[in-house]
Amino acid sequence: MKPSGYMILMLLSATGFALGEAGIGPVREVIESRCLGCHDSDTSKGGIDLEQLLSARELKAAKTAALWQKVDKVVGAGEMPPKKKKPLNTEQKAQVGGWYKSFYVLKDGREHIGRSLLRRLSRYELINTLEDLLHVSLRQPYVYSPEFPAFLPSTLETILPPDAPGESGFYNDAEQLAGTRPPILKYSEAFDYALRVFSQDAEAREKIFGFKGVSPGLREAEAGRILQRFMERAWRGYRNPESEEVVLRAYRDTRRKEAPVASLLHAMKTGLLSPAFVYRIEMVMDKATPYPAGAHELACRLSYFLWASMPDAELFALAADGRLLDATVLAAQVDRMLKSPRRISLSEDFAGQWLGFGELWTNKAFYRNERWSRGIYDELLFFFDELIKSDRSILEIVDSDWIYQSDYTGVRTAGKGHSFAAKHGDILGSRSENPPGIQEQFYKPPRLIRIKSDQRGGLITTVGILRVTSAPEKTNPIRRGVWLLDRIIGRPMHAPENVPALSESEKVDGKKLTDLADILKAHTSKAVCVSCHKHIDPLGLGLENFDPFGKWRTSYRNKRPVRSRGVFPSGETFETPGRMKQVLLGEYREPIVKNIAGRMFAYALGRKLEPHDRPALRRICDTLGQDGFKINTLIAAIAGSRQFLCRQDQP
- Footprint of another protein (CB under 8 A): 115, 117-118, 120, 146-147, 149-152, 155, 158-159, 178-186, 188-189, 191-193, 195-196, 199-200, 240, 242-243, 246-247, 250, 254, 258-259, 261-263, 265-266, 268-270, 273-276, 278-279, 281, 284, 286, 364-365, 367, 369-371, 649
**Sign of the CA dihedral running 538, 539, 544, 545:** positive
Give start and end residues of each alpha helix (H) in 358-421.
359-362, 370-389
Closer to another protein by Cβ: residue 409 or 633: 409
Beta bridge mates, 566: 574
Judge contact between 299 and 324, C-beta under 8 A.
yes
Q: Which is nearer to another protein, 141 or 538 (CB)?
A: 141
Which lies closer to another protein via its Cβ, residue 255 or residue 599? 255
For residue 533, give the nearest of 594, 479, 466 by alpha carbon. 479
Indicate the Cα dihedral angle 117, 121, 124, 128, nearest 10°: 120
Least Cβ distance, residue 104 to another protein (angstroms): 21
Nearest to residue 26, comparing CAs of 98, 82, 86? 98
In the complex, least distance from residue 192 CB atom to another protein, rounded to whole angstroms: 5
Cis, bond preceding 81 (omega within 30 deg of 0): yes
Closest CA to 358 of 390, 384, 326, 387: 384
CB of 619 to another protein, least distance (A): 27
| Nearest approach, Cβ of residue 149 and another protein (Å) | 4
Report the SS3 class of residue 162: coil
Q: Which is nearer to another protein, 101 or 123 (CB)?
A: 123
Measured at the CA of 528, the angle between CA 526 and CA 529, to 5 degrees, comes to 70
Nearer to another protein, 199 or 303 (CB): 199
Nearer to another protein, 249 or 618 (CB): 249
Contact between residue 446 and residue 409 where contact means Cβ atoms under 8 Å apart: no
Q: For residues 230 and 350, which CB has a smaller minimum distance to another protein in the complex?
A: 230
Contact predicate 372/378, CB 8 Å: no
As measured in angstroms, the least distance from the Cβ of 196 to another protein is 5
How far is 13 from 19, CA to CA, in rounded Å?
9
Q: How far is CA 84 from CA 33, 80, 400, in A?
A: 16, 10, 38
State the minimum distance, in angstroms, from the CB of residue 203 to another protein: 17
For the chain, first and last CA: distance in Å? Answer: 29
Adjacent-strand bridge partners of 110: 107
Which amino acid type is present at position 186?
K
CA atoms of 442 and 426, how far apart (whole Å): 18
In the complex, least distance from residue 119 CB atom to another protein, rounded to whole angstroms: 9
Considering beta carbons, is residue 93 or 186 the nearer one to another protein? Answer: 186
What is the crossing angle of helices 589-605 and 614-626, to 10°?
120
- What is the phi/psi pair of residue 459, to 5°? -90, -20
Q: Please report how close the Cβ of residue 341 comes to another protein at its closest, in angstroms.
A: 27
| Closest to another protein by CB, 142 or 307 | 142
Choice between 159 and 403, CB closer to another protein: 159
CB of 155 to another protein, least distance (A): 7
Report the nearest approach of another protein to the CB of residue 246 (Å): 5
Min. distance of Cβ 315 from another protein in angstroms? Answer: 23
- Cβ within 8 Å of residue 272, ≥6 positions away: 187, 191, 195, 234, 278
Nearer Cβ to another protein, position 116 or 595?
A: 116
Q: How many CA atoms lie within 13 A of 94 on its CB side?
A: 8
> Shortest Cβ distance from residue 137 to another protein (Å)?
17
Who contacts 173 (Cβ-Cβ below 8 Å, separation ≥6)?
Answer: 165, 166, 167, 606, 607, 608
Q: Which residues of 608-621 are buried (b: 16+ CB within 10 A; e: fewer)?
A: bbbbbbbbbbeebb
Smallest distance from the beta carbon of 121 to another protein, in angstroms?
12
Choice between 15 and 180, CB closer to another protein? 180
Q: How far is the CB of 646 from another protein (least distance, A)?
A: 15
In terms of CB distance, is 28 or 135 closer to another protein? 135
Q: Which residue, 35, 30, 16, 21, is CA-closest to 110?
A: 16
SS (H, E, C) 83-101: CCCCCCCHHHHHHHHHHHH
